[in-house]
Every structure is written in C-alpha cells, then in structure tokens.
C-alpha cells in the first residue's frame, strides 16, 4: 500500500445521470456522528460534496473490474473517492491518497493507518486499527 497526498480531480457533469440512478438504487443512511461545522469555523471536509456515501460511491462507476483490493462499497464507506487513475483513491476529508491495493487490504484500516488525524477516518474507526 502506497500513500501519496497529491490529488486533483472533479466529477464531471457527464456523470449526473449515473449519480441520480445511484441515489435511487441505494439507500443513503446518514452517519449520525458527523457534527455540523460550527459558525465561522472551517469545514473538516476538504471535499464536502462527497460527504454522502452515494456521492462517493458514484465516483467508482468506472472502477476497472481487474483491480484487486477492497470492494468499491467498502472504499466509499471508508471515505474514499475514485481518482480514475489505476487503483488510486483519495479521502474526501483529509485528501490522503492511497494506491497499490492488495486483496487482503481493509479500506478502514489502511485509511486510519496512513492518516491518523483524518476526522472522518477517526470517526468511522473510533481511531483504532481493527485486529485481523
């Protein structure tokens, strides 16, 4: 697993139809622990447009089938969006980028392992690596 912090990518308007289909196909449950930003404070989310699971999952629509590693749903649930470059994914909150996934990799564990201070990773993992 490699970590790289450089990332620049936007979901194009051509994916709006797919995003709408995914919204109706998958039930989006809010994560109750996500606190709203306080007035006049910067958002802890670097890409707040991907706060919802369905928005992150929509970025994986063209994830190549031959790629190994965690399931697309697990990557999206762990806070990642797909960069459309190999198997490179980036966290919507801390913008940490990971690539070179292995079949045994766990998206949550890798996220907290490489980005211990990510607000989203700390929230969904309780700040701890799972024992495997």
- For the beta sheet containing 89-91, the strands, ordered from the edge strand earlier in sequence to the opposite edge, are 2-4, 97-99, 89-91, 80-82
Domain membership flag for residue 132: no
Range(s) of the domain holding residue 63: 2-6+16-25+44-125
Q: What percent of the chain has pLDDT over 70?
A: 63
Q: What is the CATH number of the domain that holds 57?
A: 1.10.1170.10
Q: Is pTM, for the whole model, over 0.75? A: no
Domain membership flag for residue 34: no
Could you tell me which residues come within 8 angstroms of residue 25 by beta carbon, excluding any fewer than 6 positions away?
A: none
Would you give the DSSP letter of residue 84?
S
Q: At 126, is the pLDDT very low, low, confident or very high (cuts 50, 70, 90)? A: confident
Of 63, 59, 47, the residue nearest 101 (C-alpha): 63
Q: How many domains does the chain have?
A: 1
């Amino acid at each position: 697993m490699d970590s790289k912090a450089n990332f620049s990518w936007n979901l194009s308007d051509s994916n709006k139809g797919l995003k709408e289909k995914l919204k109706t196909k998958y039930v989006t449950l809010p994560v109750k622990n996500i606190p709203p930003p306080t007035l006049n404070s910067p958002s802890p989310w670097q890409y707040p447009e991907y706060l919802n699971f369905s928005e992150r999952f929509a970025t994986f629509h063209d994830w190549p089938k031959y790629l190994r590693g965690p399931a697309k749903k697990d990557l999206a649930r762990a806070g990642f969006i797909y960069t459309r470059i190999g198997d490179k994914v980036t966290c919507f909150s801390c913008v940490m980028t990971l690539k070179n996934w292995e079949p045994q990799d766990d998206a949550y564990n890798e996220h907290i392992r490489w980005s211990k201070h990510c607000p989203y990773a700390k929230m969904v993992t309780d700040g701890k690596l799972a024992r495997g």
